[in-house]
Amino acid sequence: MTDSRGGKTAANNELLVNASAGEIRVAILEQGQFTELYIERESDRSVTGTVVLGRVSRVLPGMQAAFVEIGLEKAAFLYVGDYLDENGGGEAEEPRGRRRGRNGRQPPKIETLLKAGQEIVVQVAKDPIGTKGARITSHISIAGRHLVLTPWSQRVGVSRRIDSDRERRRLRDAVSRCRPKDLGFIIRTAGQGTSNADLESDVRYLTQVWDDVQIRKGQVRAPAPLYTELSLALRVIRDFANAQTKRIVVDDPESFKAMQDFLSRFVADPKPVLERYDGDAPIFDHFGIELQIDSNLGRKVWLKSGGYLIIDQSEALTAIDVNTGRYVGRANLEETVLKTNLEAVTEVVHQLRFRNIGGLIIIDLIDMETADNRDKVYRALREALRSDKSKTNILKISELGLVEMTRKRTRENLVQQLCEPCSYCEGRGYVLSAESVAYKVLREVRKDLRRFCGRRIAVTVHPQVAEILLGPARKAVASLGDALGREIEVRARPGQHQEQFELTALDTGPPVALEFPWLQDWRKPEPAAKTADEPAAKTADEPAAKTADEPAAKTADEPAAK
């Protein structure tokens, strides 16, 4: 069996639903392979698909965009091409650049369409990601089981994945007969083969949803939600269950009951089998999913042949590097490279889907000598992408062996959902080496040599830094001690951050004359006199020459206090 794009479809797909207090996880298995993971938490639910009555906060003519308050922490971003008023004005199809609208004309200027304080109905197209606010559009679309409501279009469309012209005409005629004339609908791929009665039921349901939106719009003040999406457990049935779904397995009794009710009300026959899991082991452990989640989050992904991928995600793009690793081949180098690249592109697509990686993606393949081999790998990549529901755009393999592609991003990727920046390195991915910190400490002491001269001081550092100071850098420590006239004591403190160190004076020394310009008479500049409350010398337990407001601890990135 093949889908409308020519790719093979799974005949035994399974959907596993793990529902617990505060979190729902859904794993999609295609022909026994774990391909996608969806997570929804009560404290951080996705807002994609939410219809909101928003208020325009700023109009930016220079960007042809506006910021709209929709009730989230950050204002949402609305591009002029994503806006049309309720009468159909201001519509444009492409979201970026100087593009023309669907009517073939240049879209109007944003400042002629919107003004600060104006209330508009919008829908969240992309969740807030990182430092960016949500992306919104006024092209409203509310999904049902078989249809998608498009209230501003006032026409009936059919999914491109439905190939049969006869079926397309039947579906369009059936929906056209029963729809309100002021509402538009798109028939989803799941609507193929659906009876007219089921289509009419979907039309009634979506029409009622839109009527409720209109009623609520007149009752609330912006910003306020008008329609929210179903929970993840129910969206699984609506969006992922199809004729190729063998069964849906859920472990929570309440979710099982809600899904059972949804199936009976909105899903046409043949319905997917819904099973309740009540085993002793957690459902994801029973099906071997939990271990795969942990292993697939790593930076390195091994291929079956012995090669591996390195996946680096950044704010700008995702870079994927292909390496032969332990695979050495049998015949010649070009064949080894070709086989590794062919296996790699299949795994790359699997990782893109599993991790939900979007945006700009660069794949660094192993260099291939012949154009024929590059074409083989390119075709294999395109074929593998047929199973991906997200919209992708891919360019030919360059002479350098690079593939540039984009993948539509609507929500945070899996790493962003499950992980957080490292608190030790503050998300940098590295810390200064122990040797670098050791010599940084010595430079800071030498910088303040005048204050410490003649006094015995102690340096408190991370144990690994102490090893450097007492080992490879001991001559530098001794030389600095000679300059001070006293020995420097090195102390190791377990648990201290590797980049942090402390300098402490262990005894008193001779008074040091210091100038404080802010205490001088501006008319006759001269050294400021000491106040009566200021001690002439520090005690042995005080850090040397520190001000009252200055902390004793310093990191290696901070200059020594003067």
| The pLDDT value given to residue 94 | 37
Extract the tokens encoding 162. Answer: 């439905």
| The pLDDT value given to residue 517 | 58
Contact indicator for 36, 27 with CB cutoff of 8 Å: yes
Rounded Cα–Cα distance for residues 52 and 326 (Å)? 53
CATH of domain 299-418: 3.40.630
Rounded Cα–Cα distance for residues 65 and 61 (Å)? 7
Extract the tokens encoding 223. Answer: 């910003």
Mean pLDDT of the chain: 82
Please say if the pLDDT value at position 122 is more than 90.
Answer: yes
- Considering just the CA atoms, what is the radius of gyration of the chain in Å? 32
| 397-420 confidence digits (pLDDT tens) | 988 889 999 998 877 888 888 888
Same CATH topology for 51-227 and 434-555: the answer is: no
13-44+230-290 folds as: Nucleotidyltransferase; domain 5 (3.30.420)
| 313-357 confidence digits (pLDDT tens) | 888 899 999 998 887 767 778 888 899 999 999 999 999 999 999
Question: Domain spanning 51-227: which CATH class is it, in words?
Answer: mainly beta
Please say if the pLDDT value at position 535 is more than 70.
Answer: no
| The pLDDT value given to residue 532 | 45
Contact indicator for 387, 345 with CB cutoff of 8 Å: no
Rounded Cα–Cα distance for residues 347 and 310 (Å)? 12
| The pLDDT value given to residue 520 | 54
Helices (H), ranges, 218-301: 232-235, 253-266, 283-286, 289-296
Specify the higher pLDDT residue, 448 or 48.
48
| The pLDDT value given to residue 562 | 37
Question: Domain spanning 434-555: which CATH class is it, in words?
Answer: alpha beta
| The pLDDT value given to residue 525 | 52
Q: Which of 422-426, 470-474, 494-498 has the lowest mean pLDDT?
A: 422-426
Domain ranges within the chain, ordered by starting residue: 13-44+230-290, 51-227, 299-418, 434-555
Rounded Cα–Cα distance for residues 316 and 398 (Å)? 20
Q: What is the 3-class SS of 431-444, one letter each residue?
A: CCCHHHHHHHHHHH
